[in-house]
Structure 1
Amino acid sequence: MNSTVKSYFDAFNRGDVATMLACLSDDVAHHVNEGQVRTGKEAFRAFCEHMNRCYREELTDMVIFDAEGGARAAAEYVVNGTYLETDEGLPEANGQTYRLPAGSFFSLKNGKITRIVTYYNLADWMRQVKG
């Protein structure tokens, strides 16, 4: 199991953005499920602040895979969340809970994450929060 990726996800579950950032290269490329690629730690920090304001999430059933001598990794998990504050362009938030499978893919160099790609089923999330 890739220790950097494990540290990243452990920090995510604690809400510890500083430790998540410490796992990233300065020029990290963050590919979100439904949006533009964000480049650099500051863009990632801003994304985390936005997400923490709108959502409270815990990742469970985590399985981390390694490949290519530690240069690539992937993870499969379940997102258990609460929709806290309405996110622009999405349904109104009123504390709805959701549970959906997701996955992430990583590139790593010198023990730092250089690329994060995250996938989940947005239609499934919408169905869950619309009730």
Structure 2
Amino acid sequence: MKSNILDDLNQIQKKAVTYTEGPLLIFAGAGTGKTRVITYRVAYLLEQGLATPHEILAITFTNKAANEMKSRVEQLIGERAQDMWIRTFHSACGRILRNEIVSLGYDKNFAIYDELDQIRLINFGYYLFIKI
């Protein structure tokens, strides 16, 4: 890990990164350093032995944000970042479903349709209906 990473942070960011008394909500506007605080916090928790990579879950809304966060964490802690879940809400839920759906009595081989897949399915069904 980069030595003295706390030196890269302002006082409020340091306070958030080093807070260890329970859950922490980072709530701030665009461009204020939220991703920076979260990535540094992850690195801090790992470096201090307060968490293992398998105990860290970071959820974002977009693939771009998830990839950016992964990249930043990797720059700070190296390959240990590979063992963490840094994902979008959708990919995290999809992974949980794939791991657990059999226990609900469903087949593990399922597809999750995005908007384009849904349109194609409707068009295909319409085409079949018209052809009949």
Query: Which structure shows the bigger proportion of residues in helix conformation?
Result: 2
For normalisation by structure 1, the TM-score amounts to: 0.23
TM-score where L is the length of structure 2 = 0.23
CA radius of gyration, larger in: 2
